[in-house]
Amino acid sequence: MGTSLKIITAKRAGFCFGVKRAVDMAFDAAHKNGKKCCDVYTLGPIIHNPQVIEKLKSEGVQPTDDIDNPKIKTIIIRTHGVQQEVSYKLSQKGYKVVDATCPFVKKAQQYAKLLKEDGYQVIIIGDKDHPEVKGLMSYAGEDVVVVNKDDGLPHLKSRVGFVVQTTQPLSVLKKFISEAVEHVKELKVFNTICNSTALRLKETKEMAGKVDVMVVVGGKNSANTTQLAQLCNSMSIPAYHIETALEIKDEWFSNADKVGITAGASTPDWIIKGVEKRIRDIGGEGS
Amino acid sequence: MGTSLKIITAKRAGFCFGVKRAVDMAFDAAHKNGKKCCDVYTLGPIIHNPQVIEKLKSEGVQPTDDIDNPKIKTIIIRTHGVQQEVSYKLSQKGYKVVDATCPFVKKAQQYAKLLKEDGYQVIIIGDKDHPEVKGLMSYAGEDVVVVNKDDGLPHLKSRVGFVVQTTQPLSVLKKFISEAVEHVKELKVFNTICNSTALRLKETKEMAGKVDVMVVVGGKNSANTTQLAQLCNSMSIPAYHIETALEIKDEWFSNADKVGITAGASTPDWIIKGVEKRIRDIGGEGS
């Protein structure tokens, strides 16, 4: 380590298109009419990043799980989207609804609905406990099947249609359509995977091959940040998953010439910048 | 070899559903009204078996490639089907058309048409020089793509639909849909593979593992019989591809206790029976 420590930040570190849009919409809702509101809620935490949630709270935007909360005037739907019946209930309540569902997730919901209406048995690839998948399921009809990467397919009807949780890897989609085509006569696939996750992983992998230490920035509760950290840990260099610059220790860089920084889709730019500054202070240069 | 030579004939040896139906239709057409006709033609040889073709000729049914032949009164379309425009021309000519297209091929043609009408770019998996595939192509629209097992996919539109030559293996379909789903947003697959070929191959493989010699019966110009022979040749026992019992040599069985007989989809029962009888005469028993 020394003043020669070189810092490289991934181009794709941080907010993806859908998250940036949702966070902007939340801050906009907070500052409506030039003054802070105090009756604006997000249905669940808007993204998996505690620091952003705290910042929004300080602006008057609270997360809530209770849609009957009498204080609500404006409710923000997060990027993952919600179940069809929740969406209906919110509008019945007379709230102002700010729909920050990621447009790619919205499309997947519409495809699930379309498949159901065309008489297909809908198969959703993803984590059945994830809010995005719960939302998709509500559009997919009663005979919907949800499968995650290590599952096998159950007995299927003769016409099946696939939609995919937007953050799934392509390999899992390939596995399931290969398996399904053995058993069905007709198969329709909407490839609803958003390539933002895949591209971020690819860039991180390439970067980890060129540096001495990797720093992965993002919520410990963020699935996609954790995936980045796991990828780095599987490589032959030290890698650290942190939420903010405060967790950084000087000795991590004592044998390093080059350090790489990457961040999940829910990590805001100001936290990434803070991490860069902290490492630069330790002895790094530029990026 | 000796009187103890045991003969086992595959349950699925010989005519598949579509071929049996077509050959029956051809003989029926020949014997219409209780007397032989002499103005009945098949458009190309009705199946890839020279002995069946000869037998039909002796009944007055000739193969022809010339649809303008003035002698034609009745024309028989073979199992592979024909191009849409040929079908149209035949009806314009005023011929009596006996459509012996395999019902599974007919379905694949309808699916190709449906995909085209729904705006998909149609991809046909199969041999572009095979008459079945030429027929399918005529229903599939101008931007149709034909790919065979070792090909790669060209640049595709964003919505593609697959149909498959009925005799293709499932592994090839899996390969192409896996490749396509990387590049397109929407994929529709009609699995038009007829499992008759796969089941016959499976049974032949199991049989070849249990006998000392395999005899594969069928036209040397029959693709599916040749496939059976290649499978047997890839195993560790002697295997012989013959068209009729006349080709059999006694010495093939000199070190054998068990002989297996299989036959392609275009091999008639009377030829298989002739082969069984010839081997029984050499020294075999039962089946």
Q: Using alpha carbons, select from B126, B40, B132 the residue that is nearest to residue B81.
A: B132
Strand locations in chain A, DSSP E?
Answer: 5-9, 40-43, 61-64, 74-77, 96-99, 121-125, 145-147, 159-164, 186-190, 213-217, 239-242, 258-263, 284-285
More confident site: B172 or B284: B172
Can you give the pLDDT at residue B34? 59
Can you give the pLDDT at residue A127? 95
Would you give the distance in Å from CA A281 to the centre of its chain? 30
- Both tokens of residue B180? 């396509």
* DSSP states along B164-183: E-TTS-HHHHHHHHHHHHTT
Q: Return the sign of the alpha-carbon dihedral for residues A221, A225, A229, A230.
A: positive
Please, which contacts does A196-199 make with residues 24 or more away whose CB atoms are closer than 8 Å?
A196/A12, A196/A16, A196/A17, A196/A265, A197/A16, A197/A166, A197/A167, A197/A169, A197/A224, A197/A227, A197/A265, A198/A169, A198/A170, A199/A12
Chain A residue nearest residue B182, CA to CA: A170
- Both tokens of residue B170? 């499932």
CB atoms within 10 A of CB A24: 12
Domain positions in chain B are: 5-14+196-285, 17-101, 104-193
Q: Give the least confident one: A36-45, A180-189, A240-249.
A: A36-45
Q: Each residue of B28-37: pLDDT tens digit?
A: 998 875 566 6
More confident site: B50 or A3: B50
The answer on pLDDT for A112 being more than 70 is yes
**CA dist list (Å): A12 to A8, A180, A192, A267, B9:** 12, 34, 20, 11, 64
The phi and psi torsions of A269 (rounded to 5 degrees) equal: -55, -40
Helices then strands, each counted (H, E), chain B: 9, 13
In the sheet where B213-217 sits, what is the strand order? Answer: B239-242, B213-217, B258-263, B5-9, B284-285
Using an 8 Å CB-CB cutoff, list chain A residues near B103.
Answer: none
Q: Nearest by CB to A190, which of B173, B185, B190?
A: B185
To the nearest 10 degrees (0 to 180), the angle between helices A84-92 and A131-138 is 80
Q: Nearest by CB to B189, which of A174, A187, A191?
A: A187
Across the interface, do A188 and B187 touch by the CB < 8 Å criterion?
Answer: yes
Q: Are A195 and A236 in contact (CB under 8 A)?
A: no
Q: Nearest by CB to A181, which of B173, B184, B185?
A: B173
Q: Is A271 left (phi over 0), alpha (psi -120 to 50) or beta?
A: alpha
Degrees, nearest 5: CA angle B265-B61-B12: 15
Q: Using alpha carbons, select from B274, B281, B239, B278 the residue that is nearest to residue B260.
A: B239
3-state secondary structure (DSSP) of residue A131: helix
Q: Is A159 left (phi over 0), alpha (psi -120 to 50) or beta?
A: beta
Q: Nearest by CB to B191, which of A170, A181, A191?
A: A181
Would you give the distance in Å from CA B87 to the centre of its chain? 20
Q: Using alpha carbons, select from B10, B21, B44 the residue that is nearest to residue B218.
A: B10
Q: Report the percentage of chain A scoring pLDDT > 70.
A: 95
Q: Each residue of A198-214: pLDDT tens digit?
A: 899 999 999 999 999 99
Q: Are A124 and A102 in contact (CB under 8 A)?
A: no
Using an 8 Å CB-CB cutoff, list chain B residues near A123.
Answer: none
Chain A residue nearest residue B192, CA to CA: A185
Q: Which fold has domain A117-193?
A: Cobalt-precorrin-4 Transmethylase; domain 1 (3.40.1010)
- pTM attached to this predicted model: 0.85
Which CATH architecture best describes the domain B104-193?
Answer: 3-Layer(aba) Sandwich (3.40)
Strands B96-99 and A213-217: unpaired
Question: Rounded CA gap, A129 and A144, in Å?
Answer: 15
Question: Rounded CA gap, B55 and B47, in Å?
Answer: 12
More confident site: A18 or B223: A18
Which CATH architecture best describes the domain A17-102?
Answer: 3-Layer(aba) Sandwich (3.40)
In this predicted complex, what is the ipTM? 0.82
Q: Each residue of B147-178: pLDDT tens digit?
A: 999 999 999 999 999 999 998 989 999 999 99
Query: Which residues, 6+ apart, have CB-to-CB distance to A61 below 8 Å?
Result: A26, A27, A29, A30, A37, A40, A41, A42, A46, A76
Would you give the distance in Å from CA A135 to the centre of its chain? 15
Average pLDDT over residues B253-276: 95
3-state secondary structure (DSSP) of residue B101: coil
Chain B nearest C-alpha distance from A13 (Å) = 24
Between the two ends of chain B, the Cα-to-Cα distance in Å is 16
**Same fold yes or no, B5-14+196-285 and B104-193:** yes
Across the interface, do B186 and A185 touch by the CB < 8 Å criterion?
Answer: no
Chain A nearest C-alpha distance from B185 (Å) = 5
Which residues of B fall below an 8 Å CB-CB distance to A?
Answer: 170, 173-174, 177-178, 181-182, 184-191
* CATH dotted code for A5-14+196-285: 3.40.1010.20
Can you give the pLDDT at residue A104? 96
User: How many contacts does A have with B, using Cβ atoms within 8 A?
Assistant: 49
Tell me which amino acid residue B83 is. Q
Question: Rounded CA gap, B96 and B76, in Å?
Answer: 9
Across the interface, do A178 and B178 touch by the CB < 8 Å criterion?
Answer: yes
Q: Give the least confident one: A183-192, A259-268, B50-59.
A: B50-59
Active site residues of A: 132
Question: Rounded CA gap, A43 and A30, in Å?
Answer: 14
Which residues of A fall below an 8 Å CB-CB distance to B?
Answer: 170, 173-174, 177-178, 181-182, 184-191
| Residue B141: exposure state from Cβ atoms within 10 A (0-12, 13-18, ≥19) | middle
Can you give the pLDDT at residue A32? 72
Question: Rounded CA gap, B67 and A216, in Å?
Answer: 72
Q: Are B259 and B228 in contact (CB under 8 A)?
A: no
Q: Report the percentage of chain B scoring pLDDT > 90.
A: 83
Average pLDDT over residues B113-118: 98
Q: Are B222 and B266 in contact (CB under 8 A)?
A: yes
Q: Using alpha carbons, select from B44, B52, B192, B196 the residue that is nearest to residue B115.
A: B192
Q: How confident is the model at residue B4 (pLDDT cuts 50, 70, 90)?
A: confident
Across the interface, do A186 and B188 touch by the CB < 8 Å criterion?
Answer: yes
The whole-chain average pLDDT of chain A stands at 92
Q: Each residue of A61-72: pLDDT tens digit?
A: 999 999 999 999
At the top level of CATH, the class of B17-101 is alpha beta
The answer on pLDDT for A188 being more than 70 is yes
What DSSP element (H or E) covers B163?
A: strand B159-164
Across the interface, do B188 and A190 touch by the CB < 8 Å criterion?
Answer: no
Degrees, nearest 5: CA angle A194-A199-A202: 140
Question: Rounded CA gap, B6 and A129, in Å?
Answer: 60
The answer on pLDDT for B88 being more than 80 is yes
- Both tokens of residue B239? 């295997």
